[in-house]
Amino acid sequence: MELTPCSIEQFEREGYLFFPGLFRREEIKVLLDEVPRLYAQLRPENVREKGGDAVRTNFAAHMYSYPFAKLARHPRMVKPVMQILGEELYMHQFKINGKMAFDGDLWQWHQDYGTWKNDDLMPEARAMNVAIFLDEVNEFNGPLMFIPGSHKLGVIDAQHDLTTTSYPLWTIDHDTIRKLVERGGIVAPKGPAGSMILFHSCLVHASTSNLSPWNRVSVYLSLCAVSNHIRRFKRPEYIAHRDFTPIRCLPDDCLLTDYDVALPWKDGTPESALKPQLAA
């Protein structure tokens, strides 16, 4: 998959690209069928909603789940980011966000690079997210909301929110959000399962809670330029990876075809991945 000059120009202007229905139904089924098994496991990689059992985020499934290990090497997700950043990539973070029916909590307004910079000492915003919908996303089940063009402002002042939800974020205050929305508005890409979003790590985004009866499960690959790897290892490795080996893509049919991929954590999370390191 190669981006056109018009698509790259749109990305630079708005900070995101949306590709409705990019993955076929049978490809998504392979992934969606695996999610209940992952969410049912009592692994540290499963972060649950505050005060409940619903999974908010599953981290690092590509290290121990065969379907998601193949997805982590999928050319439709990796190659557009390589094209924009202009170099090889490594997996900074891999997560399956639950946003489950009735129980999925909000994600506060934030920039992903704000967290990566403050927590991981990632030098520059030469990293971005690429996400696919495993469920249909509609106006009722907590779609991602973006403020177009907000990525052009660089890193915006943020506070470390440790209390609102079960997962801490560097979040942006309400007055700043009002000003950003007056400038750029809000969009919320919606579409069928298999749709893909690519967005800049400084693009301000959020999502509301999911009070609908429909799940909104999405997979996020946070891909970073190898030369821009993180310098601080204070978070567990299953959240912020320390292996900067460039990703080698599999063929485009990888979700429906058997390929040999490593599953280094299939027998459990290594003790070293649970602990911070004092120096990179």
Residue type, 204: V
- Tell me, what CATH number does 241's domain have? 2.60.120.620
Question: How far apart, in whole angstroms, are the C-alpha atoms of residue 8 and residue 169?
Answer: 29
CB 180 within 8 Å of CB 147: yes
Residues 154-188 pLDDT 10s: 999 878 766 565 466 788 999 999 999 999 999 99
What is the full DSSP assignment across 84-113? HHTS-EEEEEEEEE---TTTBPPEEEE-HH
Question: How far apart, in whole angstroms, are the C-alpha atoms of residue 31 and residue 62?
Answer: 11
- pLDDT for 251 equals 98
CA 265 from chain centre, in angstroms, equals 20
In-domain check, residue 244: yes
Tell which wins on pLDDT, 130 or 277: 130
Question: How far apart, in whole angstroms, are the C-alpha atoms of residue 147 and residue 189?
Answer: 11
Total structural domains in the chain?
A: 1
CA 3 from chain centre, in angstroms, equals 20
In-domain check, residue 51: yes
What residues make up the domain containing 77? 5-104+123-135+188-200+209-274
Name which of 142, 130, 136 is nearest 94 in CA terms: 130
Residues 199-252 pLDDT 10s: 999 999 999 999 999 999 999 999 999 999 999 999 999 999 999 999 999 999
- pLDDT for 168 equals 66
Q: What helix, strand, coil percent values describe the chain, rounded to 5?
A: 25, 25, 50
In-domain check, residue 220: yes
In-domain check, residue 152: no
In-domain check, residue 115: no
Name which of 167, 97, 110 is nearest 137 in CA terms: 97
In-domain check, residue 31: yes
In which band, very low, low, confident or very high, does the pLDDT at 130 lie, cut at 50, 70 and 90?
very high
In-domain check, residue 142: no
Show the DSSP H helices in the chain as ranges. 5-14, 25-32, 35-40, 66-71, 75-85, 112-120, 174-184, 271-274
Question: How far apart, in whole angstroms, are the C-alpha atoms of residue 165 and residue 48?
Answer: 10
Q: How many CB atoms lie under 10 A from the CB of residue 35?
A: 22
Helix and strand tally (H, E) in the chain?
8, 12
In which band, very low, low, confident or very high, does the pLDDT at 277 lie, cut at 50, 70 and 90?
confident
CA 272 from chain centre, in angstroms, equals 23
What is the full DSSP assignment across 245-259? PPP-PPPTTTTTS--
CB 206 within 8 Å of CB 161: no
Query: What pTM was computed for the model?
Result: 0.93
Question: How far apart, in whole angstroms, are the C-alpha atoms of residue 224 and residue 86?
Answer: 11
In-domain check, residue 269: yes
- pLDDT for 280 equals 47
In which band, very low, low, confident or very high, does the pLDDT at 56 lie, cut at 50, 70 and 90?
confident
Please, which residues have CB within 8 angstroms of residue 192's CB and are 6 or more apart in sequence? 20, 21, 133, 136
Across 50-65, average pLDDT: 90
